[in-house]
Amino acid sequence: MTVADRKVTQTQKTNQKGCIVRQTPAGLLSFVRRAATTAFAAVLIASGGVSAAHAKSNPRYAAIVIDANNGKTLFSSSADAPRYPASLTKMMTLYMVFDALKAGRIRLDSKVPFSKYAAGRPPTKIGVRPGGSITVEQAILSLITKSANDAAAAVGELLGGTEANFASMMTAKARSLGMSQTTFRNASGLPDANQKTTARDMATLGIALREHHAKYYGYFSTRSFKFGNTTIRGHNRLLDRVKGVDGIKTGYINASGFNLVTSLKDGDRKLVAVVMGGTSGASRDNHMAELVQRYLPKASTRSTGLLVARGSADDAAVTAYASPLPRSDAPIPSDRPGLAVLQQVATADAKSALEIATADPVRADRLQAAVARSAAAAAAALDPVATASTTSRSGWAIQVASLGSEGEARSTLSKVARQASGILSADAAFTETFTKGGTTYYRARFGGYGSKDEAWNTCSALKKKDISCYAIQQ
């Protein structure tokens, strides 16, 4: 922890029991109160049925509440409109892992090797180096708590040969579950203009995870786990806040806003709810809590049986893309062979993509390379701010806060960028983590400065606007 980090976190103190207690400065408290008032107003509007004006004011918003006993829709708003799933994508990644566990293709103690590609996925990540590995169970826990993009890619390579092939498997599985409006391009949810879903499809997946994989579903209630000497804590605040909530997943990229799928069981009543496009993690959570509170009493206490068809255990499209797993836990090479056609699933089903790859492998390789270039360009245009894949980490940066959650850090970055619109570029905003005393903190930074003087001068201009900051070399 740097001296500057200690300065930023000096508003924390330790109580008599040794627990960290955060004290909020008066200025920040005023901001939080204003934000809370705005979020509460949005919740009041949404709880009575989101008006057309409210939906128009936030075009990324979508929500649905499903009675998980009988499948009845209790509430919906833009539930069938296309949205970016962000890290909700990892719900399907985990579904595929659970499928493989159930089929005996892998075990919880099987090794998940990290290729150079997987290890190089941008944060959030668990940080395994190329050639290293973790167990399948560690991968599951890292996907659920830290939403680790590197672990998602490594799992995709293990089960699909390449992450691209695995994305085709995911899409084929989505179709077999009735998720007709969902297309996956990667295993993590990192930005891709063609990776789309709907709130209704995500609710379907949430129900399917509980119904089809009850043996493993309990992992979604994990609040933290120990990885080496580090305690990794989860992002799902609803687990400790709302009675009966047992998962499932949060997600965020710039293009999607703040997403959340929540499953709840209270007595004989069960709900699965989805909120997409939240303007902050806190407002999203508040809205979800209000939806659950409002619609749980309306849920049935009687189950009508399985709501989501399991699909064929020998689903041809999924099996066709599956990677032959090693007979032992030997490391897997970085450049692994596999079917080289993947991105076609958005416009054609997995069977037709497989036919192209089988008939003309050279054409398939060229197609994948072209699509990869196009996807990279689309991703940069789609989400230039919040992911490490599009933000330079070299040179100098300006840090404006060090906070206890990624959502808080991103909200602070957005606020500061608005306050200093003529000084800072929102495109340069990013978060970075560090751990102290077993707790993970999120540094809120603006990067892209080529020299110390440039960063220092910018910070001086921010201080004139009463924005605390300091310059640091990356």
Residue 366 host element (H or E)? helix 361-382
CA pair distance 200, 273, nearest whole angstrom: 9
| Distance (Å) of CA 279 to CA 262, 287, 307, 408, 420 | 18, 11, 31, 12, 19
- Split at pLDDT 50, 70, 90, the class of 19 is very low
- Tell me if 433 sits within 8 A of 441, measured CB to CB: yes
- Give pLDDT tens digits for 49-93: 443 444 557 899 999 999 999 999 999 999 999 999 999 999 999
Determine the 3-state secondary structure of 256 from DSSP.
coil
Mean residue pLDDT across the chain: 77
- Tell me if 158 sits within 8 A of 106, measured CB to CB: yes
CA pair distance 130, 146, nearest whole angstrom: 19
Asked whether the CA dihedral 68, 74, 80, 83 is positive or negative, the reply is: negative
Instruction: Answer whether residue 150 shows pLDDT above 80.
Output: yes
Binding residues for substrate: 249
CA pair distance 296, 280, nearest whole angstrom: 24
pTM of the model: 0.63
- Split at pLDDT 50, 70, 90, the class of 245 is very high
Instruction: Answer whether residue 472 shows pLDDT above 60.
Output: yes
Which pLDDT does position 317 carry in this prediction? 63
More confident residue, 247 or 212: 212
Stretch 256-277: mean pLDDT = 95
Q: Any idea which residues carry the catalytic annotation?
A: 87, 90, 147
Stretch 434-459: mean pLDDT = 82
- Give pLDDT tens digits for 188-243: 999 999 999 999 999 999 999 999 999 999 999 998 989 988 888 887 888 878 99
Instruction: Answer whether residue 449 shows pLDDT above 80.
Output: no
Binding residues: 249
Which pLDDT does position 325 carry in this prediction? 67
Which pLDDT does position 359 carry in this prediction? 52
Residue ranges of domains in the chain, CATH in brackets: 48-298 (3.40.710.10), 391-473 (3.30.70.1070)
Would you state the structure tokens that stand for residue 156, as one six-digit string? 């995709």
- Give pLDDT tens digits for 415-440: 898 888 778 766 678 888 877 777 88
